[in-house]
Structure 1
Amino acid sequence: MSIELGINFAAKLEPFLLMAKSAKGAAAAKLIQDATSASGVFVFAELLDHPNIQELSASGQHASFYSLLQLFSYKTYQDYLQHKDVLPPLNQAQITKLKHLSLVSLAMERRILPYSTLLHALDMPTIRELEDLIIDAIYMDMIRGKLDQKEQQFEVEYTMGRDLEPGKVEGILAALQSWASTTASVLATLDNKLASLSSRATARQIEDEEYDKAVQAVLKDVTDKQKEGKGAGRKPPLAMLERSSANLADSMDVDEPVENYKGKNRKATMEMGAKSQRKRNRF
Structure 2
Amino acid sequence: MAQIKALNALEPFLALTKSATSPRAAADLVTRATSTPNTYVFAELLQSPQIQALPQAPEYAHLNEQQTLKLRQLSLLTLAKDPHNLSYASLQSALGLSDARALEDLVISAIYADLITAQLDPHNQVVHVSSVSPLRDLAPNSIPSMLASLQEWSGRCTTTLAELEAQIAAIKDTAAQKHGEKKAWTSKTEELIDDEKSFEKGAHGHNQSNVVSRAVAGMRSGRYGKRDRGGNSIEVEADDDEAMDLDDNQDLNEGFEGAASGAGKKRVNRRKM
> Do the two structures share a fold, i.e. TM-score over 0.5?
yes
Normalized per residue, the structure richer in helix is 1
Corresponding residue for 2:6? 9
2:67 corresponds to: 94
Change (3 A) 1:151 1:243: same
What pairs with 1:25-40 in structure 2 (closer than 5 Å)?
A: 25-40=23-38
RMSD: 2.9
Asked whether the equivalents of residues 83 and 128 of structure 2 are also in contact (C-alpha less than 8 Å), the reply is no
Return 5+ residue gaps in structure 1 as ranges: 66-87, 259-283
**Structure 1 residue 211 and structure 2 residue 185: aligned?**
yes
CA drift of 1:8 comes to 2.1
Alignment check: 8 A CA contact 1:145 1:154 kept? yes
Indicate yes or no: 2:138 matched with 1:184.
Answer: no
Aligned equivalent of 2:57 = 61
Helix, strand or coil at the partner of 2:80: helix
Matching residue within 167, 172, 175 for 1:201: 175
Q: Secondary structure at the match of 1:147?
A: strand
User: Is residue 107–residue 113 contact of structure 1 (8 Å, CA) maintained in 2?
Assistant: yes
CA distance in 1, matches of 2:32, 2:68: 13
One-letter amino acid of the structure 2 residue matched with residue 53 of structure 1: I
Q: Distance in 2 between matches of 1:183 and 1:241?
A: 85
**Counterpart position of 1:169:** 143
Which of these residues, 19, 22, 25, is aligned with residue 19 of structure 2? 22
SS in 2 for 1:33: helix
CA drift at 1:148: 3.1
Q: How many residues align?
A: 226
Secondary structure of 1:108 counterpart:
coil
For residues 224 and 207 of structure 1, do their structure 2 counterparts lie closer, same or farther at Cα, with a shift above 3 Å needed?
same
Deviates more, 1:111-120 or 1:195-204: 111-120
One-letter amino acid of the counterpart of residue 186, structure 2: D
State the TM-score, normalizing by the size of structure 1: 0.68
Which of 155, 161, 181 is 2:128 aligned to? 155
Q: 1:21–1:45: structure 2 CA closer, same or farther, 3 Å change rule?
A: same
Give the structure 2 partner of residue 69 of structure 1: none
Gaps of 5+ in 2: 232-273
SS in 1 for 2:140: coil
Point out the more displaced range, 188-197 or 143-152.
Answer: 143-152
Q: Which residue of 2 aligns with 1:82?
A: none
What is the Cα deviation at residue 237 of structure 1? 10
Q: Could you tell me how far 1:189 is from its partner in structure 2?
A: 1.1
Q: Which string of whole-angstrom CA distances, capped at 9 and with x for unpartnered residues, describes residues 26-69 of structure 1?
A: 32123223323334322211211223223335xx335x86xxxx
| 8 Å CA contact 1:40, 1:140 repeated in 2 | yes
Alignment partners' CA distance in 2, 1:128 and 1:194 = 54
Does 240-249 or 35-44 show the bigger shift?
A: 240-249
Cα gap change, 1:142 to 1:219, in 2 (>3 Å): same
SS at match of 1:8: helix
Cα shift at 1:241: 8.2
Cα displacement string for residues 253-283 of structure 1 (whole angstroms, at most 9, x for unaligned residues): 99xxx9xxxxxxxxxxxxxxxxxxxxxxxxx
What's the CA shift string for 1:111-164, capped at 9, x where partnerless?
Answer: 872323212211223222211211111111111122233443222233222111
